[in-house]
Structure 1
């Protein structure tokens, strides 16, 4: 677990909270965010105190994601300055002087400072965070395993997972469970639902379970309710594509990439995707994901957002085809007319009187 080193030029047994924070910033802030800011002030009062996002979350009984959200909030109102590495991980936190902080456009939506600045503003204090990769997986030592598994919640969790797996916990299973619980910050209930979901798909391999867990973490799924909603949507979308293509199997990895591209990059609803799959079957007589991708890419470029817009595109396409067909039919007649040698003479238009006169002349000749 990476540490955050807090540095201060002075030590104090008390934490000073400016009145301007209580008067102008605290009322409009989320209570969890207020706890984050106050805890940072408390930590700065301790010389060379080392912390982690995980330890802050544990102390405040919150998740690491919520801690990060709190830090980002205070960055918006300009009370904190955050520095991130190339992996978008926070590597430095500067606690700005609350009296001299300039309000940004976002800050105006949350708080307005009315207090006059002191003659000698305090210097900003800095928190340094060691950079780390996303979801770095540690290897837990025997001592760490003993310490973590000594908690009643973890003991209970391991017993439940053994029931799900229908076997004893193996060392690889234990490392994964502790990783989910300690590093990813999954609750015991979320871990149980994770194993229940994977086992229901007949997937008990730790690598598969870990892959699902990481995808949830990337999507910000940190509760059982969010996981249930995501799995229902996941299954319904894939099932809809399978049904349209007439597949009786789960999509392969490449096929999943296509479906995720249509849903996430193109932002299409599942009914638009199914329409593309239906047209693919009609044109190719087979479930061709590449062909369907071309259809959807064309619709995406033309700004399709709703199924009704596709009908308009079809109508425009039909008109264009008919116009070209009519144009091609007229072209040969025109060419033949131009090649007729009698066209060089002026053409006369006859009236009813002309026809009557010619008829009378013919009768007189008889």
Structure 2
């Protein structure tokens, strides 16, 4: 549970910068403004530390809302949110916004110039509709920089945002990572992006089917496991039925799901050029036949058949046993 430590002077009132009111407040969510003002009040009044649950209860909000708000204001450059430890505790410093115009003057002028362009303004408005919230100046600058740095056209940027939203992701950090991956994969137009999305989505559809078959409902698998499955699908080009068969064999032999064991089976099949279930059956029959032949050849021969049998005169033998041969 997070605790926030506020560092500033003690006053009997809470001064709010006009720059905050004019520049930052209009585009921010209402609950974010409330959280900023309450945090500023704690800071000014000299509170040493306030638990996140106390702030949430005071404003009838969720604790996640509080964390999202402080992250938002940190991204906006209104506060400094500094982690203290690994337990979710932070130092919060409310910055002096009086110097805001001088420190970011060039960026603001460029942004204002860009916003005067109809195409840019329309794109940013469409992005706001897609993510269902106002954009920060930092986000606007980031999206506009993609046009220069990545050579992304507005329609490609909108497709990227739409793709992220379809996955339930609207955080700008996640969106930025996707943009970087598209740039690294040399995606420059809508056609490239659609092929990338199809390939990526097809891959994850198959991964989800394999995980469901194994009884794993969550897609939050570890990277090594994801790489294994990706190898089975895209390097070995195994069909789902072949992968399912390897999963069945794994469970039959060790009675649990083990990715390394399944990987070992599929590695062997790939080396043996096995492509279908019929190939698997042929291999099993060949292996079974080899085992039977080996067992037969190594078995001991019958002690009754291991030498040349003698022929007896049973009547003569009977006379000897009864003592009649002396008569």
- Tell me the alpha carbon deviations over residues 219-246 of structure 1, each in whole angstroms, 9 at most, x when there is no partner: 4554253244234413311221122111
Alpha-carbon distance in structure 2 between the residues aligned to 1:214 and 1:275: 38
Aligned to 2:154: 188
Match of 1:280 among 250, 261, 265: 250
Alpha-carbon distance in structure 2 between the residues aligned to 1:306 and 1:295: 14
Alpha-carbon distance in structure 2 between the residues aligned to 1:189 and 1:199: 15
Aligned to 1:4: none
**Deviation, structure 1 residue 294:** 1.7
- Tell me the alpha carbon deviations over residues 273-326 of structure 1, each in whole angstroms, 9 at most, x when there is no partner: 333333333334433222222222222222334444333322333223333443
Aligned to 1:257: 227
Aligned to 1:347: 308
- Tell me the alpha carbon deviations over residues 112-146 of structure 1, each in whole angstroms, 9 at most, x when there is no partner: xxxxxxxxxxxxxxxxxxxxxxxxxxxx9445544
* Conserved 8 A contact 1:180-1:186: yes
Aligned to 1:212: 178
* Conserved 8 A contact 1:172-1:206: no
Alpha-carbon distance in structure 2 between the residues aligned to 1:274 and 1:188: 43
Match of 2:280 among 305, 310, 320: 310
Aligned to 2:210: 241
Residue correspondence of structure 1 range 1-366 to structure 2 within 5 A: 141-219=107-185, 221=187, 222-223=189-190, 224-254=193-223, 255-328=225-298, 330=299, 333-334=300-301, 337=303, 347-348=308-309, 358=313
SS of residue paired to 1:167: coil
* Conserved 8 A contact 1:245-1:277: yes
TM-score for the superposition, normalised by structure 2: 0.53
* Conserved 8 A contact 1:245-1:278: no
**Deviation, structure 1 residue 169:** 0.9
Alpha-carbon distance in structure 2 between the residues aligned to 1:154 and 1:306: 53
**Deviation, structure 1 residue 363:** 9.9
Cα gap change, 1:294 to 1:348, in 2 (>3 Å): closer
> When you count helix as a share of all residues, which structure comes out higher?
2
Task: Name stretches of at least 5 consecutive residues in structure 1 with no aligned partner.
Answer: 1-139
* Conserved 8 A contact 1:280-1:288: yes
Task: Name stretches of at least 5 consecutive residues in structure 2 with no aligned partner.
Answer: 1-105
SS of residue paired to 2:173: helix
**Deviation, structure 1 residue 210:** 2.7
